[in-house]
Amino acid sequence: MVERSGYPAVIAEVEVLTPTLRKFVIAAQGTRFPAVSAGSHVVLGFGDASRRYKNAYSVVSATPDGRELSVIVRRAPQSRGGSVFLHDQAQDGTPVTVLSSANLFPVVKTARRHLMLSAGVGITPFLAHARALEAEGADYTLHHFCRPEEKPAFEALLATLPPGRIFIHDRPPEDAGMKERMAAEGIATHLYFCGPEGFMGWVEQAADALGFVAAKVHSEHFFVPEGGRPFTAVLARSGERIEVAGDETLLEALERSGVDAPCMCRGGACGACALEVLDGVPEHRDHVLSEQEKAEGRTILTCVSRARTDTLTLNL
Amino acid sequence: MTVQTSARESYHPPYQVTNSAETIMRFPFPFPEDTYMYSMNVEPHVRSGPVAAMHHTFDIDEHYVAECAEKARILEQDPKRCIVLPHMREAEWDFVEFAMTCLSEQYPQHFSLRREGQDWHWVNRLLGYEQSFVFGDATTLPLPPFEYMARQMQGDFTLHDQREDDLWMDGGMVTSQADWSLKFDLGMSFRQWHAPVPKAAEMGVFDRGLRFLLMLQPGKPVRRLNWTMTINPRLDTSPENFMVWGPDRASVTPENVADKVHLRVELQTLYRMPRSNAILFSIRCYLMPVRDIMRVSKWRRRLHRVLRDLDPALSSYKGLDLYRQTVVDFLAPYDDGAPLSSGIQPDADQPESVLASVA
Amino acid sequence: MIVSSQLPFAPLALDRSGVRHLYVRDAAACPLPEGCGAVMPEVWTVVSDATAMADMGEGEILLRSATALLERLAGRLARERVGLRLYAAGGASFLSRVAIVADAAGLAVGEVLLAPPRDAARRVLCVHCDTVNEAVEGDTVRCLGCGTTLFVRDHYSRGLGAYMGVGEPEILLQAMEAAARHG
C-alpha cells in the first residue's frame, strides 16, 4: 500500500548516459517498493531546504524483490528546475521519496504484435516494455531515433535485448524508411510511440495515412510542466487565496498550501487533476481536454495549465 | 471475529445458517438514507468504516469455512464458474500476492506467509492447507494461481484488463452472484456487462464510474455497497441455476417472511494490481434474514421505508416483485416513522430481541 | 451514450481512412456500402450454390455458403496488412460470425463495420445447459439441449456470438399472472 507519505528511498547510483540524459537507480529504505507494471511512471519527491519538487518519471526497470527501481531523466533547463536539480545536485545517498505510481501507457495485452517507436528520452517506457515482452515471448519490434553522437549510448542501453528486435537509427524516421516498414505491418499490429512533439506529429500522420485505426495507436506525450506568469488561485469554498509563482505549477501551489488536490500523471496526460473553473481564463497546456472544453474554459488540469488572467477562481 | 473451523452450516437445501450477535452488528447494511436510487456511492476502501465488515481488506467472518466448502461444491458441479483468459497470467500472480499478503498480515492467527525471494510458503490454518511454491511458477501450485487462492476466500472475484479506455472482464471466479453469469459476460467491456441494469445508464452512472475506475491507482482501493434480496440463505443465485432457485421467490408467506427473506449485500472493493495493471473486483456477499435485521431498530425501520418507496423498475430488475409487499407489510408495524440518523451504522452495541425465535 | 452489449450496427459507408476495402455479404441482395464508386471494395458474396467457383467473376468472389466464406475470410485476415476495412452485411447470425472471425484475427473497433441485420433471427445460448439455439425468431425458444422454454434477454455476448436465454420457472409465471390479474 502506498502510504500518504510515500516510500522513503535514496539514490544508489547515477549513470551519465549522454550530456543531457542520466539514469538514477533508486533504492528503497525499509519498506519494499510495490511491483510496477511496464509503462508505469512514479512520482518522485526530492529537493533541498529551499525547494521541493514532485516530478513524474517513467520507470525503466525495477528489481523483482522491490528493493530498487530506475528512472532516466532528461535535463530540461527551461522547466521548473526538478531535472536540473537531479542532474546537478543528486548523487549517491541523496534522499528521494517514491510518492505514487500509475500506468498510463500499458501495452495492449491481447495484441498479436507490438511496434514501438521512440525518439530521444521517449525511449524510457519502451525499455520496460521491451524487457517485459521479451520475457513473455511476445512479438515486438522497437525502433529508436536519436542523434548520431547519442547512438552508442542507446546501443549500450539496449544491448541486452535481441538485435533482431531492436533498431537504432541516427536519421529521422522519414529517411530511415519508417513509413514503408509501418505499411508492411500485419493488420493485428498495435503501434506505440513516445518522443518530442515533432516526432510524435510525424508518426501520427504516417499512421493515419496508412490506415491505422485509433484503437491500435497508442502514444505517451512526455511532458515536463513549464513555468509562466505568476497568478493567484482563489478557492471559492474557503475564500483562500494562493499565490502561484512563475516557477511552480498550480498543482504544486495547491499542495504547498495543504490543499488535498487530486492528481496522477503530473504531466497533463490523464485528466485526474481536473478542477472546475468558476472565474478567470485558463491557459490550457494539457493533452486531455477537447478543443471545445478548452474554449469553454470551465475546466483546468492543475498539473500543467496556468492562467491568462491575474486570478483564477476554482470550485474547491 | 471468531471463525468456526468446521462446516456445520449449509448454503443449499436443507439450509442451515445462523448469525451470531457479532455477525449481525458487523453487517454492512446498505442504506445510508431512507430512500434508495442506484448511484456510484464509491469511497476509499480504508481499513475503517461504520461497520466492522469494512475493517479489513478482505473480510473473514464466522461463515468462512462453510462458504469455502460451498464454493468448492459449486465449482465441482460447474467448472465454468472459474475462467481466466491467458493474457491475465500476471494478474493471477498479482492476486496471489495481494491476497496472501493481506490475509497473513491482517489475520496472523489464521494465515501465514513466508517469503524468501521467489520461494514462498503459505499456511491456511482454517482450511488446513500448507503449500510451498515458487512465486511466478504455476507448475509449483496444485491449481492455477488465481483459482488456488480464490477458493480460499469468501466472495467472488473478477479480473479486468484495461485497454481502449475500457475495462474488460477477462477472468474471474463467481459462485455467489446475484443473477449474472461469468461464462456469458467473460470478455465483455464495462458498458457491455452493465447493459442489463435499468435506470443507471440514463443517469450516466456508468460513464462516471468507468472514468473513475480507469484512473484507479495502485494502493488506493475503493469500495461501494450494492444490494438485492434472496429467498433462503442461498449464495449461488446464478442464472445457470435459476430453474432451481427461482421458484423460491413464490414461496414467501406472512408466516415465513422473517426467516425466508434475506437482505443480500455485496461489499464491492476494487484494486489496481501493480504487476499487470489489471483491476481486481472483489464482491463479498453477506446474507442477513429479515429476522436478524429486525434486531437493530434503525435498520428495521429504514429497510421498511426503502422497500416501501422503491422505484418499480428497480424492484423488477432485482426480482423482488412477488414478495416485496409481504416484506413491507411485515415490517410496517415496527416502523414508528421517527427520523433516523443518516449513515449505515447500527446506532446500538448489541442486537435487541424483537421477535420470538422460531422453534 | 447508449448502453448495450449489442454489436455496433450502422448503415455501411465507405471509410476513406482505410487503404484497402473488403465487403462480405451473405446474399447478393445486400447493397454496396455508401460512397462506392471511384474506390470499389473487393466483394465476397454467398450464393448458396454448390456449383459456384470461388474465383473473381464480374469483380466479385462467389462463395457456396456462409461457412465457406467465413473460412476463406479467416485465412485472408491472417495474411492481411494494416489499413484494411472490413464491411459485412446480411443476417444477424452471419454478422455475429463475421465479428468472431475478425476479432480472432486481431481487428479492432473501426476496422470492422457491420450493417444493421436484414433479419431478426438470433443465436441464443441456453445459460442452463450451454446449447446454442440457432435462428431464433421470437422472444422465446424451447432449448434443443434441455427442453427449457428460454426467454431471450437483451444481453449479447460478442465472444460467444449469442444472446442469453434464461428459463422462467412455471410457478413464477403463474404467480406473476395471478398478481397481474389481482393487481
CB contact under 8 A, B277 and A35: no
Rounded to whole angstroms, the Cα distance separating C103 from C108 reads 7
A73, A46 in Cβ contact below 8 A?
Answer: no
Question: Per residue, what are the HEC states of chain A?
Answer: CCCCCCEEEEEEEEEECCCCEEEEEEEECCCCCCCCCCCEEEEEEEEECCEEEEEEEEEEEECCCCCEEEEEEECCCCECCHHHHHHHHCCCCCEEEEEEEEECCCCCCCCCEEEEEEEHHHHHHHHHHHHHHHHCCCEEEEEEECCHHHHHHHHHHCCCCCHHHEEEECCCCCCCCHHHHHHCCECCEEEEEECCHHHHHHHHHHHHHHCCCHHHEEECCCCCCECCCCEEEEECCCCCEEEECCCCCHHHHHHHCCCCCCCCCCCCCCCCCEEEEEECCEECCCCCCCHHHHHHCCEEECCCCEECCCEEEECC
Chain C residues lying within 8 Å of A208, measured CB to CB: 17
> What value does the mean pLDDT take over residues A58-62?
95
Among A1, A65, A108, beta carbon nearest to B163: A108
What integer is the mean pLDDT of B325-350? Answer: 96
- The band of C106, judged by pLDDT with boundaries at 50, 70 and 90, is very high
Please, which chains are in contact with A (at least 3 CB pairs closer than 8 A)?
B, C
Contact A210/C82, CB-based, under 8 Å? yes
Tens of pLDDT, residue by residue over A179-238, are: 999 999 999 999 999 999 899 999 999 999 999 999 999 998 766 677 889 999 999 999
The mean predicted confidence, pLDDT, of chain A is 92
For the stretch B248-281, pLDDT in tens is: 999 999 999 999 999 999 999 999 999 999 999 9
In a domain, A108, yes or no: no
Distances (CA, A) of A65 to A10, A45, B140: 16, 22, 19
User: Residue B7, SS3?
Assistant: coil
pLDDT value at position C56?
Answer: 67
Amino acid B193: pLDDT: 86
Q: What pLDDT score was predicted for residue B199?
A: 62
Statement: residue C57 has pLDDT above 80: no
Residue A3 confidence (pLDDT) above 50? no
Q: Residue B316 above 70 pLDDT?
A: yes
Using the beta-carbon criterion (under 8 Å), do A188 and C85 form an inter-chain contact? no
Contact residues on chain A for C113, CB-CB shorter than 8 A: none
Examine the domain organization and report whether A143 and A209 are in the same domain: yes
- Same domain as A211, residue A120: yes
Supply the pLDDT for residue B201: 62
B161 part of contact set with chain C, CB < 8 Å: no
Determine, for residues C107 and A185 on separate chains, whether the beta-carbon distance falls below 8 Å: no
Residues of B whose CB is below 8 A from C3: 191, 194-195, 201, 206
Q: Which amino acid, residue A151?
A: K
Are the beta carbons of C172 and B322 separated by less than 8 Å? Answer: yes
Out of A65-74, A266-275, B10-19, C140-149, least confident range = A266-275
Q: Is the pLDDT of residue B303 over 90?
A: yes
What is the CATH classification number for the domain harbouring A302?
A: 3.10.20.30
Candidates C82, C85, C108; nearest CB to A183:
C82
User: Which CATH number fits the domain C20-114, given the four candidates 2.60.120, 3.40.50, 1.20.1280, 3.40.5?
Assistant: 3.40.50
Q: Mean pLDDT, to the nearest integer, of A12-24?
A: 95
Residues of C in contact with B184 (CB under 8 A): 125, 127, 155, 157, 160, 164
- Which residue of A lies nearest to C17 if distances are taken between CA atoms? A211
Residue B246: pLDDT band with limits 50, 70, 90:
very high
Q: Which helix (H) or strand (E) holds B245?
A: helix B242-245
* pLDDT given for residue B194 in this prediction: 83
Q: What's the gap in Å between the CA of A269 and the closest CA on chain C?
A: 23
Chain A residues in contact with B217 by the CB 8 A cut-off are 2, 100-102, 264
Q: How many helices (H) and strands (E) does chain C have?
A: 3, 11
Span B199-216, average pLDDT: 77
Question: Which residue range is the domain that position A163 belongs to?
Answer: 113-219
Touching chains, B (3+ CB pairs < 8 A): A, C
Answer yes or no: do A65 and A145 share one domain: no
Please work out, in degrees rounded to the nearest 5, the angle formed at the alpha carbon of residue C111 by the alpha carbons of C110 and C112: 95
Answer whether C4 touches B (CB < 8 Å): yes
The H or E element spanning position B159 is: strand B156-163
What's the mean pLDDT in A50-72? 92
Q: How close is the nearest chain C Cα to the Cα of B153, in Å?
A: 26
Chain B partners within 8 Å of A264 (Cβ): 215, 217
**C-alpha distance from C142 to closest chain A C-alpha (Å):** 36
Q: In whole angstroms, what is the distance from residue A222 CA to residue A172 CA?
A: 19
Chain A CA closest to residue C112: A213
CB contact under 8 A, B277 and A106: yes
Which comes out higher in pLDDT, residue B357 or C166?
A: C166
Mean pLDDT across B160-175: 96
Both A242 and A277 in one domain: the answer is: yes
Shortest CB distance from C108 goes to which of A182, A183, A216? A216
- Contact, B295 vs B331, CB < 8 A? no
Report how many domains make up chain A: 3
A205 and C CB contact within 8 Å = no
Nearest CA in chain B to A218: B164
C159 CB near a chain B CB, below 8 Å?
yes
User: Is residue A224 situated within a structural domain?
Assistant: no
pLDDT of B53 strictly over 90: yes
Closest approach of A110 to chain B, Cα-based (Å): 6
Span B68-96, average pLDDT: 97
**Model confidence pLDDT, tens digit, residues A22-50:** 999 999 998 889 899 999 999 999 999 88
Q: Residue C54's pLDDT band (boundaries 50, 70, 90)?
A: confident
Query: What CA–CA distance (Å, rounded) separates A279 from A35?
Result: 42
pLDDT: is A303 or C75 the higher one? C75
Amino acid letter, residue B255? E
Q: What would the mean pLDDT of B130-149 be, rounded to a whole number?
A: 98
For the annotated catalytic residues of B, the residue numbers are 224
Lookup: cell for A155: 546501443
Which residue, A58, A79, A102, sits at the end of a domain? A102
Q: How confident is the model at residue B207 (pLDDT cuts 50, 70, 90)?
A: confident
The residue in chain A having the minimum alpha-carbon distance to the alpha carbon of residue C81 is: A186
Does residue A4 register a pLDDT over 60?
Answer: no
Output the pLDDT for position B359: 36
What is the model's pLDDT at position A270? 82
Residue A153 lies in a domain: yes
Instruction: Tell me: pLDDT of C1 over 80.
Output: no
The reply to whether residue A37 touches residue B161, judged by beta carbons under 8 angstroms, is no
In a domain, A226, yes or no: no
Query: How far is residue A109's CA from residue A112's CA, in Å, rounded to a whole number?
Result: 8
Find where cell 445510508 sits.
Answer: B32
The shares of helix, strand and coil residues in chain C, as percent rounded to the nearest 5, are 20, 30, 45
Specify the CATH number for the domain of residue A161. Answer: 3.40.50.80
Residue A2: band (very low, low, confident or very high) from pLDDT cuts 50, 70, 90:
very low
Tell if the CB–CB gap between A34 and B97 is shorter than 8 Å. Answer: no
Band of residue A286 on the pLDDT scale cut at 50, 70, 90: confident
Provide the residue ranges of all domains of chain C, joining segments of one domain with +: 20-114, 122-170
> Does residue C18 belong to the interface with chain A, where contact is any CB pair within 8 Å?
yes
Of B87, B117, B215, nearest to A109 by CB-CB distance is: B87
Euclidean distance between CA atoms B151 and A228, whole angstroms? 56
Q: How far apart are CA C52 and CA C70, in angstroms?
A: 16
Interface of B with A in 130-149 (CB under 8 A): none
Contacting residues of A for B219, CB less than 8 Å apart: 1-2, 34, 100
